[in-house]
Amino acid sequence: MEHKRLRIEWLDKEDKHTLYVKFALMELARVGEIDFVQVPLARFDRKILSQEAIDALSPAQSFFVAYDNGHRYKIVLDISESYFYMSSTIAEVDLYFCTAYSAELFEKRQFLTPYPWQERYDLGGYQRNFQRIEKEFGEYFHKLVRFIPCPPVMDLPVRRFGKMKQVQIVSLLLGRFLQKKIPIPLSSFFNPEYHLFKLRYRQLLAYRQNTLNYDVVVRESLWAWLGTGFYSSKNLQH
């Protein structure tokens, strides 16, 4: 029996931080690796996911359904910077991809090992939040899947382009708006959202050729402790 391609049905809501993944799925669809469909919020079947669960998703959390070889998987993609923001939608899905995944928290069920220089008063809020998350969602921790660190923002900083490219971007933005009124198949060469993503991705790749302006880069691990991150950023400015 011929194996059917993986089919992704993406809930089309106000996603901001997960657009890099959306772009990657579009790329796979364009080369025929998968089928990718966006389902408008107004036409989405609430029997698959309840309205309450949809409302619990932030702009950093997306929902999609994966159909693979006769099986259906309901999946949340969570790009939130901290486990603080875990969504109650986890109760209704099969898998929950989590950028803020930690084996200590979600497998060993123990609080994160502090850095040597952290004081007790630094940790109180984090410990209380972990206790809250464990109490509310602990029974669903087996659904959690480790995911990549926070991907780049895919919104286009229009001011960084020349005048001609700015006109092109504005035209694509208008096309994206019209697409919501008159849906265009995602496989279409003229899909404006895809081309906006493509422009942004090329811009990100071009940054690799830029001259470095800084000698110090804050390690991503520091930002897991929000207060520490802000303190470090402030000190680096002086």
Cα separation values, 150 from 97, 101, 193, 202, Å: 12, 11, 21, 19
Question: Is 141 part of any domain?
Answer: yes
d(CA 225, CA 208): 28
Position 168 in a domain? yes
* Side chain identity at residue 62, one-letter code: S
DSSP 210: S
Task: Kindly state whether residues 29 and 75 are assigned to the same domain.
Answer: yes
For the chain, percent of residues with pLDDT exceeding 70 = 74
Check pLDDT > 70 for residue 225: no
Q: Based on the fold, state whether residues 178 and 147 are members of the same structural domain.
A: no
Q: What are phi and psi of 67, to 5 degrees?
A: -110, 120
Instruction: Provide the domain limits for residue 180.
Output: 158-209
Does 184 lie in the same domain as 75? no
In a domain, residue 231? The reply is no
Domain count, the chain: 2
Of the pLDDT bands very low, low, confident and very high (cuts 50, 70, 90), residue 63 is very high
Rounded Cα distance between 202 and 186, Å, is 20
Distance CA 76, CA 201 (A): 24
In a domain, 180, yes or no: yes
Q: State whether 51 and 123 are in the same domain.
A: yes
Contacts of 53 (CB under 8 A, 6+ apart): 88, 89, 91, 92, 93
pLDDT of residue 93: 96
The helix or strand, by DSSP H or E, that contains position 75, with its residue range, turns out to be strand 71-78
The helix/strand/coil state of 227 is: helix
Q: How confident is the model at residue 236 (pLDDT cuts 50, 70, 90)?
A: very low
Model confidence over 43-56: pLDDT tens digits? 888 999 999 999 99
- Alpha helix ranges (H) inside the chain: 19-30, 51-55, 103-106, 120-137, 163-181, 192-206, 226-236
Whether 223 is in a domain gets the answer: no
| pTM of the predicted protein model | 0.75
Whole-number pLDDT of residue 206: 83
Confidence label for 191 from pLDDT (cuts 50, 70 and 90): confident
Q: How far is CA 44 from CA 18, 39, 194, 226, in A?
A: 19, 6, 22, 36
